Amino acid sequence: MTAPIRAVNDFVVKFANVNGSGSASANRLFAKAILRMGVPVATRNIFPSNIQGLPTWYEVRVSEAGWLGRRGGVDLAVTMNPQTFEKDQAELEPGGYLFYDSTRQLPDSRFRRDITRLGLPLTTICNEHWSDPRQRQLMKNIVYVGALARLLGIDMAELERLVGEQFKGKEKLIEPNVEALHLGFEHAGRELAGACGLEVRRADAVGERIFLEGNAAAALGCVYGGATVCAWYPITPSTGLAEAFMRQCERYRIEPETGKKRFAIVQAEDELAAIGIVIGAAWNGARAFTATSGPGISLMQEFLGLAYFAEIPAVVFDVQRGGPSTGMPTRTQQSDILACAYASHGDTKHVLLFPEDPAECFAMAADAFDLADRLQTPVFVMMDLDIGMNEWLCRPLAWDDSRRYDRGKVMTFADLEAGREFGRYLDVDGDGIPYRTYPGTHPTRGAFFTRGTSRDRYARYTEEGPAYVDNMQRLLKKLETAKKLLPAPELVPAAEPTRFGLIAFGSSMPSVREALARLAEEGVHLDTLRVRAFPFSRAVEEFVATHERVFVVEQNRDGQLRQLLVNECGIDPARLWPVLHYDGTPVTARFLIRAVLERLSDAKVVPFRKAVS
């Protein structure tokens, strides 16, 4: 007999539901109640590309230690979808718990023997209590949350408070929901008392942190960063970003005297038009952005080249998902790195930012507009489904009220009037960044013609080779300047001196941090560098140069960031060990630990051990 798992503030609960059944808000209630008890949680939606009827999952990792990556494995399965009952049960760790609706008797043969069954007749309970079929269905979700509260020791007062907040303004709904919570709580108390060895205990490990989706955070960053034009075309997982921007603008961007809007949002006919609108608006001096995912990036290629060459400050959010477009649209990946870094035809190279969590999505979104204006080039904020569509526990968002937007080098009417020389592509300051003017600035000075074909330093059309080369060299110089302005990589030295390093970025970071801590306990030490931007700064090259071998962790098949490192920094590929996870689920610490140990043992650095779990 496997002993039932016993754990306090350190376990994984996975809810299995049917899409569209109203379970999402109940599951969220569960997670937030634990947070309110001061215990960190990491939640992840796993959902189909479908609106109703297909299976969906919600994973809650409870971790007082604060590990926010996906752990892998499940300790308590809440199986509310008969379709996936077998699969959900199979995922349980030995000694785990299976919570299910026992209204319909299931034969013993349907259950694993090494797990504990927690059956409650949810359907019967709800049918007895409510007559309306839709209400029965919705309340079932709340009843199981109440039952879980009893089983895990979640504070009912927190749950009740959350229900009150959720239905603020719709007070009529509070009472039945609270009633449902208690119904579940009492039934579990009567029928399953003491059956579950998992426990939530009040702690003080959450602090000031907030619980927020990356898409909403990035959208708010656009509001704070002064974006006024948004053009987009719906695509999962980026849709939420544009929709959040809409909501937040309605809240923060209404002119008080007139009720008019200090923003313009256009749902374009496709991604080509979306980026075209952004380019037109940015050319004309507004801060503009689009939010999309891989297939949209593909459609935008020609325009992105134009923006690069015409030096237009466009901001693009790429909330990455599995490719190709017909493949895994609702699964996470970091697989558009190359597509964005070198987007378009001809010689192009773009600025990429890699936020690691929603708080950084907010900060980098706002920064992206300053960078785009300063550098006069497209800036990509490389998010992914995991960050974009899941609520993450992260540091609170911060804004310095003394901050002023950096609109970059823009010549004003006064500048032109004073007789300052204007050449649209003239490198006056030696940093590769020329001055621009907005249309309509001055009656006789500062106008120029923007083209995708070549021109000289004064924006005059030319097909002369030397003028073209001159311009392309200046664009390279501009990217050198970019390296100094972009967010620097974040170095975390290992506790002990080591010959080995690890490079990672974006949503992999929580799992990377956990893996590093566990590896250190095993005596394996790695210096870590979190890359936050492309083109890479000198610090990235130095990091690789000062380590014998460097792991590069990414969530794609081809080691795209590693390819960039090899290409752009001239690094010997043999020195960069790829660690690649790309099945569409977020990478786990377990996976990383195993990959690192296997590689080190292949290289005879450490004796092979089974991955620590």
Q: Find the binding residues for another protein in span 388-407 (CB under 8 A).
A: 396-401, 403-405
**How many amino acids of this chain bind another protein (CB under 8 A)?**
79
Q: Out of 266, 428, 472, 488, point to the residue binding another protein (CB under 8 A).
A: 266
Q: Examine residue 452 and tell whether it contacts another protein (CB under 8 A).
A: yes
Sole window of 87-95, 184-192, 299-307, 593-601 interacting with another protein (rule: CB under 8 A): 299-307
Token pair of 428 as six digits: 């006056």
Q: Out of 86, 128, 421, 464, point to the residue binding another protein (CB under 8 A).
A: 464
**Nearer of residues 192 and 277 to another protein, judged by Cβ:** 277
- Touching another protein, residues 218-257 (CB under 8 A): 220, 223-224, 226, 228-229, 231, 252-253, 255
384 by DSSP, 3-state: which?
strand
- Touching another protein, residues 497-556 (CB under 8 A): none
Q: Examine residue 212 and tell whether it contacts another protein (CB under 8 A).
A: yes
Q: Is the dihedral of CA 368, 369, 375, 376 positive or negative?
A: positive
Cα(474)–Cα(425) distance, rounded to whole angstroms? 9
**Of residues 336, 287, 278, 285, the one with CA closest to residue 307:** 278
**Nearer of residues 137 and 450 to another protein, judged by Cβ:** 450
Q: Out of 281, 371, 533, 540, point to the residue binding another protein (CB under 8 A).
A: 281
Q: Out of 60, 139, 268, 524, point to the residue binding another protein (CB under 8 A).
A: 268
- Residue 436 phi/psi, 5-degree rounding, is -125, 170
DSSP string, 312-349: ---EEEEEE--SSTTS-TTS-----HHHHHT-SSSS--
Residue 464, C-beta contacts closer than 8 angstroms, at least 6 positions apart: 454, 456
What's the CA dihedral at 591, 593, 597, 598 to 10 degrees? Answer: 0
Q: Examine residue 297 and tell whether it contacts another protein (CB under 8 A).
A: no
Q: Out of 286, 426, 539, 605, point to the residue binding another protein (CB under 8 A).
A: 286
Q: Out of 104, 201, 202, 261, point to the residue binding another protein (CB under 8 A).
A: 261
**Nearer of residues 259 and 523 to another protein, judged by Cβ:** 259
Residue whose tokens read 């019967």: 124
Cβ atoms within 10 A of the Cβ of 175, count? 11
CB of 399 to another protein, least distance (A): 5
Distances (CA, A) of 550 to 525, 568, 578, 600: 12, 16, 8, 11
CB of 10 to another protein, least distance (A): 22
- Touching another protein, residues 13-52 (CB under 8 A): 35-36
Q: Please answer whether residues 55 and 80 qualify as being in contact, where contact means their C-beta atoms are separated by less than 8 angstroms.
A: no
Residue whose tokens read 């311009």: 471
Q: Out of 49, 50, 284, 473, point to the residue binding another protein (CB under 8 A).
A: 284
- Touching another protein, residues 412-451 (CB under 8 A): 437-444, 447-451
DSSP string, 205-273: --TT-EEEEHHHHHHHHHHHTT--EEEE---TTTHHHHHHHHHHHHHH-B-TTT--BS-EEEE-SSHHH
**Nearer of residues 124 and 166 to another protein, judged by Cβ:** 166
Q: Examine residue 463 and tell whether it contacts another protein (CB under 8 A).
A: yes
Q: Examine residue 561 and tell whether it contacts another protein (CB under 8 A).
A: no
CB of 263 to another protein, least distance (A): 7
Sole window of 10-18, 76-84, 260-268, 325-333 interacting with another protein (rule: CB under 8 A): 260-268
Token pair of 499 as six digits: 């010959």
**Of residues 596, 550, 595, 592, the one with CA closest to residue 569:** 550
Alpha-helical segments (H) within 114-173: 122-129, 133-152, 156-166
Q: Examine residue 324 and tell whether it contacts another protein (CB under 8 A).
A: no
Sole window of 99-107, 217-225, 426-434, 504-512 interacting with another protein (rule: CB under 8 A): 217-225
CB of 132 to another protein, least distance (A): 31
Q: Examine residue 285 and tell whether it contacts another protein (CB under 8 A).
A: yes
Residue 564, C-beta contacts closer than 8 angstroms, at least 6 positions apart: 337, 338, 341, 534, 536
Token pair of 483 as six digits: 């390296």
**Nearer of residues 175 and 250 to another protein, judged by Cβ:** 250
CB of 220 to another protein, least distance (A): 7
**Nearer of residues 132 and 208 to another protein, judged by Cβ:** 208
CB of 369 to another protein, least distance (A): 10
CB of 315 to another protein, least distance (A): 13
Cβ atoms within 10 A of the Cβ of 410, count? 14
CB of 508 to another protein, least distance (A): 23
**Of residues 444, 443, 445, the one with CA closest to residue 435:** 445
Sole window of 59-67, 301-309, 379-387, 538-546 interacting with another protein (rule: CB under 8 A): 301-309
CB of 446 to another protein, least distance (A): 9
Q: Out of 52, 105, 326, 453, point to the residue binding another protein (CB under 8 A).
A: 453
CB of 105 to another protein, least distance (A): 43
**Nearer of residues 154 and 220 to another protein, judged by Cβ:** 220
Q: Out of 4, 280, 423, 584, point to the residue binding another protein (CB under 8 A).
A: 280
**Nearer of residues 99 and 263 to another protein, judged by Cβ:** 263
Q: Examine residue 466 and tell whether it contacts another protein (CB under 8 A).
A: no
- Beta strands 198-199 and 7-8 are parallel
Token pair of 357 as six digits: 């969590």
**Nearer of residues 32 and 518 to another protein, judged by Cβ:** 32
Token pair of 339 as six digits: 């597509």
Q: Please answer whether residues 385 and 330 qualify as being in contact, where contact means their C-beta atoms are separated by less than 8 angstroms.
A: yes
CB of 325 to another protein, least distance (A): 18
57 by DSSP, 3-state: which?
strand
**Of residues 336, 360, 361, 363, the one with CA closest to residue 350:** 336
Residue 188, C-beta contacts closer than 8 angstroms, at least 6 positions apart: 120, 146, 147, 148, 149, 150, 151
CB of 461 to another protein, least distance (A): 5
Q: Examine residue 363 and tell whether it contacts another protein (CB under 8 A).
A: no
CB of 208 to another protein, least distance (A): 8
Distances (CA, A) of 564 to 335, 342, 352: 13, 10, 12
